[in-house]
Structure 1
């Protein structure tokens, strides 16, 4: 082959490669799905406007995604600023400082190209470097193109919570569940803000513990109304409303809406990661109603505390569909991993028989089913079931998976306070 022919061949190969790259699919990671680290301060992740009000540079703004097919990846920003600024963009171990122009409209700003060598989770990280105006940038999206975009997964919705995951406990056929007992242990560091660790759930309600703020934690017990109203309790007929019959000292109780409606109760209690906490539910059917009562064991006092007792209309049966769950209910830190252990669950039937629940079926919510998030899982280890979500790591469980823990064979000893 002469030099002219060789040169023509090389040019043809380069042209074909450029054409293939240019025709490769492109996606936009929306600004409203980003997360700020370590906290969402001096920046706002707006559902309608993406990354806005970015005034500080003590944090980074991160866009997460999952690559299924390794290959070439080009990064660009759809951004603008009120005055020229500089932002550092990092991905896959490389970074580049780019200039964000003063512009009223979002500009497509090419950043860098990298090669993704293996499948997995990645993120584009933005950090403010220099600004002449009020903000480093408003960011509408991060644009990804190249061969690595094929079958890429990312969250295209403003719903920034992690996927909720559940453990469903089968009950032997023909057994009436009058009592439902369970325990929770949260490892240190896994007690992130905006997390609900729920121990004793059933067909009309749920009972567990939450991290509500840096200074407040709660024991939560709620029971749903009848009727199926999704949002406003004021629209629920009186005969369909749950009625509070009793509540413990210092327990707050009220109605709730927004995720169905019903009766809510909570006790502010500073539970601690690393400790084991005990939960107990009781059900008493009468006619077409059932009274559900929740007790929490307070280790500092060495006694069971009444949280609340609700009468649920249009029910009239013992507890069914027993389950536990792990939920991230805050948007700002939906990227942070959390994990909880759930175990030693028992039921006591209306005939006084204790039955240990050693099997669980894994399930997840609409966020997981839609593949908006892929980072969740569960299983059994060290004698406990466990659930985890977020952290952008590969799932280790799928809907319908069956778990089993070893039986202890020793039912709980429970001495309730006398009223």
Structure 2
């Protein structure tokens, strides 16, 4: 219970009115207001007992919970912060921290829905504003909708601005980034080979390190939870829908074979098709090898097969082989990507190295791929999140996203890695 809460109500009201009047005079010096909605820009970074929804923060019952809101400043400057309350039943107190500064604020049971916090001197780059409840008279702290950042000159601020097309969800996940590898021209390719190394500490839950992408699907490794990781291989149906039950029989992905212990089924929500995954606890710091083929069967269908090599096991493992109907293609659009699929973890960063990319043509000749184009998803292209990077580092391609770091790579930039010159040593006759 704070000292203010111990004051008689009349004295408390007078004190808060005096404080509010003084802060309101200061606020008038800051003419430009940016309304940062919690629904797309905030996370519970400590504790529990707090829910972030599209409408804001609700069900805030615990004083242990910390709500963190992120935005990026174009330049260092003082800002005036305010909180927009969404509902309250009783009085409570918060502490607000940003840029190494801290301010205590009190919410009365009645009054304005805009709460003045005060002036903070902030540096350029990403800023984290932490809010924590310190005392409350009722069962819950006030619900809060958004953070108002008031500046004097209207300098640019980066944040997730709207929820059109569910962008609060995608923005909280963070920007997905991709590497598209340049193929030699005028050849047909059957096989694509790639390697991934995830550095220690760059593997938060929700990370998907996709190694071998192709025109109709993807193949890589995931960190799914504290005790589960997967090798995932999926092929989209030619019938475009997010609901696999809508796919006609003649356009469904057919399973041809799968490895021991591999789960196969359907997937939806981001297109639909056939999915396979093998639960395997891959290890950070180790390098994993990916090999998959795309081959038309001459009957108007295409076959897709994926193999995974773990150094701990020392042999290639079949993940699955699928038939995609109404498709006649060789391997097209070899690419890799990095994404976070758990939106509540979007404030945590991840990074991976992608190296030794090779393709084999239909005549059995290997070609090394040493050029890649770096791109991002809608959230990155709109500039709603700018914590992304990719390109070449120490002779390997890499991708990085999340964590609200300041350095970033220009989208659509081209990158080269040095040639290795040594093609993969694979006995195709011995593949399972």
TM-score normalised according to structure 1 size = 0.90
Q: Secondary structure at 2:52's aligned position in 1?
A: strand
Q: Which whole-Å deviations, capped at 9, do the CAs of 1:273-315 have from their partners, x for residues lacking one? A: 1111111101221132110000011323211111010111222
* Contact 2:65/2:132 (<8 A) preserved: yes
Corresponding residue for residue 98 of structure 2: 91
After TM superposition, the structure 1 = structure 2 runs for residues 39-58 of structure 1, keeping only pairs within 5 Å, are 39=46, 41-47=48-54, 49-58=55-64
- Asked if 1:78 corresponds to 2:84, the answer is yes
Corresponding residue for residue 132 of structure 1: 137
For residue 144 of structure 1, report the CA deviation from its aligned partner: 1.4
Long gaps (5+) in structure 1:
1-17
Corresponding residue for residue 12 of structure 1: none
* Contact 2:45/2:68 (<8 A) preserved: no
Corresponding residue for residue 10 of structure 1: none
CA distance in 2, matches of 1:180, 1:407: 16
Out of 106, 119, 124, the position equivalent to 2:124 is 119
Corresponding residue for residue 26 of structure 1: 33
For residue 51 of structure 1, report the CA deviation from its aligned partner: 1.0
After TM superposition, the structure 1 = structure 2 runs for residues 284-363 of structure 1, keeping only pairs within 5 Å, are 284-287=295-298, 288-363=300-375
* Contact 1:304/1:415 (<8 A) preserved: no
Aligned CA distance change for structure 1 residues 106 and 183 (closer, same or farther; 3 Å)? farther
CA distance in 2, matches of 1:50, 1:111: 18
For residue 22 of structure 1, report the CA deviation from its aligned partner: 5.2
Q: Which whole-Å deviations, capped at 9, do the CAs of 1:30-51 have from their partners, x for residues lacking one? A: 121243353573211112x311
Corresponding residue for residue 233 of structure 1: 244
Q: Which whole-Å deviations, capped at 9, do the CAs of 1:174-233 have from their partners, x for residues lacking one? A: 12111111110011111011110000001011000001111111000000100322x111
CA distance in 2, matches of 1:278, 1:269: 14
For residue 166 of structure 1, report the CA deviation from its aligned partner: 0.4
CA distance in 2, matches of 1:32, 1:106: 21
CA distance in 1, matches of 2:30, 2:392: 46
**4+ residue segments displaced more than 6 Å:** none
Out of 234, 258, 271, the position equivalent to 2:269 is 258
Out of 111, 114, 117, the position equivalent to 1:108 is 114
For residue 63 of structure 1, report the CA deviation from its aligned partner: 1.1
CA distance in 2, matches of 1:135, 1:190: 36
After TM superposition, the structure 1 = structure 2 runs for residues 181-200 of structure 1, keeping only pairs within 5 Å, are 181-200=193-212
Q: Secondary structure at 1:32's aligned position in 2?
A: helix
Aligned CA distance change for structure 1 residues 125 and 418 (closer, same or farther; 3 Å)? closer
Aligned CA distance change for structure 1 residues 76 and 348 (closer, same or farther; 3 Å)? same
Long gaps (5+) in structure 2:
1-24
Q: Secondary structure at 2:408's aligned position in 1?
A: coil
CA distance in 2, matches of 1:40, 1:46: 17
Corresponding residue for residue 413 of structure 1: 425
For residue 252 of structure 1, report the CA deviation from its aligned partner: 0.7
CA distance in 1, matches of 2:176, 2:221: 15
CA distance in 2, matches of 1:148, 1:236: 54
Q: CA RMSD in A?
A: 2.0
